[in-house]
Structure 1
Amino acid sequence: MKNILMMVDRTSTRLGQACAWLIILLTCLIAWEVFSRYVLNTPHDWALDAQIQMYGTLFMLAGAYTLAKNGHVRGDVLYGFFQQRTQAWIDLVLYVLFFLPGIVALTWAGWTFAQESLAIRESTFSATPLPLYPFKFMIPVAGLMLLLQGLVEIVRCVQCIQTGAWPSREADVEEVDVEKLKEMVKSEGAAR
């Protein structure tokens, strides 16, 4: 069971890491468009549409990654004071009552929405139209990934209820802890 949980975590993590590269592409596209518009005086009518699609793809596909890393916003003011078993019960109830129905609806409607877009070969409304249907197919893909990750989180809740401790997660990049960094620099300086 742990291998399946970690496999879904790894998939969500890899997808999130791959989508993170869209930030670089998006930044380059925006910088190029600003340069092109204000220095070369040759704006591109499709650039804004491309930026919106890239940002939307990044935003949607990063959802499963964020869920895998336990990074979604919650009311931690009270939640953090509860025992882990109580936290798991709260999470389990919220996943079953709200998360699952919402994500299933998103995935189902997103699939229908994307198929209709493909059927009419929907494109943007600009002089140089970009196809919209590939972007709209990101909706059910993101929904499916969120659904898989949500099921993993439900299993984690059940495991925590049984054991009293949260099961492990796939490791990834951690935020920099300034105090730990200072201690590390001091210890390296003292060792020399």
Structure 2
Amino acid sequence: MQFLLKLSRAIDSLNRWCGRTVMWLVLIVVLISSSNAISRKFFDMSSNAWLEAQWYLFGALFLLTGGYTFLRNEHVRVDVLAARLSERKQIVIEIVGVLLFMLPACLAIMVLSWPVFMDSYVTHELSSNSGGLIRWPAKLIIPVGFALISLQGVSHLIKCIGFLRGLCPNPNKKLLDKSPEELLAEDIARQAQAKFEQQQKG
């Protein structure tokens, strides 16, 4: 079990790194999107390549952060009934859900999307739009994204079993680390409080 928990931590680290790295695609997408809009509006210029790059990155942003979102327990859960049960029963339901629904669905998508990617890669498939990009990188994102989600499902499964055996905390609890926005808000509040206290002393 200790080996499996180490494997779980390694998977968590992979998805944590991937998620935090891919987040920077938000900035790149915003820059590309705004540049396209400005060039089209003010210079009457447009590029299918940049427009498709924007779509590719947008797809990567969602698919490659699926495992990270699962790690942080940020996916939508319909737990109106499960919330009334004990933690152990909730974990049992979680194990059943991962084994019977999540992993089979993710593996099926991986298996079905891989030949589509390979066909695109072997034939050097290009976009049908004039000046468009090659297609295989966008199609590769699908199996890779679902592979990351599947790995995180395995990690979650290990942690669920570990919780039932008393070896780790409840994996259904959301991570308590704060977002950059929350940390910034707290810092601003501390500075305002310190300034107020200085004014009171003065």
Shorter-chain TM band? 0.7 to 0.9
Q: Distance in 2 between matches of 1:115 and 1:41?
A: 37
Gaps of 5+ in 1: none
State the secondary structure of the residue aligned to 2:22.
helix
State the secondary structure of the residue aligned to 1:7.
helix
Q: Distance in 2 between matches of 1:65 and 1:172?
A: 14
Larger Rg: 2
Please state how far the C-alpha of 1:84 moved relative to its aligned partner. 1.4
| Percentage of identical aligned residues | 25
- Which residue number in structure 1 is paired with residue 31 of structure 2? 28
| Root mean square deviation of aligned Cα | 2.9
Deviates more, 1:98-107 or 1:71-80: 71-80
Q: Distance in 2 between matches of 1:120 and 1:171?
A: 47
Partners of 2:12 and 2:71 within 8 A in 1: yes
- Which residue number in structure 1 is paired with residue 170 of structure 2? 166
Gaps of 5+ in 2: none
Residues 172, 120 of structure 1: alpha-carbon distance in 2 compared, 3 angstrom cutoff: farther
TM-score between the two structures when normalised by the length of structure 2: 0.82
TM-score between the two structures when normalised by the length of structure 1: 0.86
Q: Deviations over 1:54-110 (max 9, x none)?
A: 101111101011011111110143333332111101111111110111011111112
Q: Deviations over 1:99-150 (max 9, x none)?
A: 1110111111121111011111112111102001011111111121111111
Please state how far the C-alpha of 1:44 moved relative to its aligned partner. 1.5
Out of 73, 77, 92, the position equivalent to 1:74 is: 77
Q: Deviations over 1:140-167 (max 9, x none)?
A: 1112111111101111111222239415
Please state how far the C-alpha of 1:184 moved relative to its aligned partner. 5.5
State the secondary structure of the residue aligned to 2:137.
helix
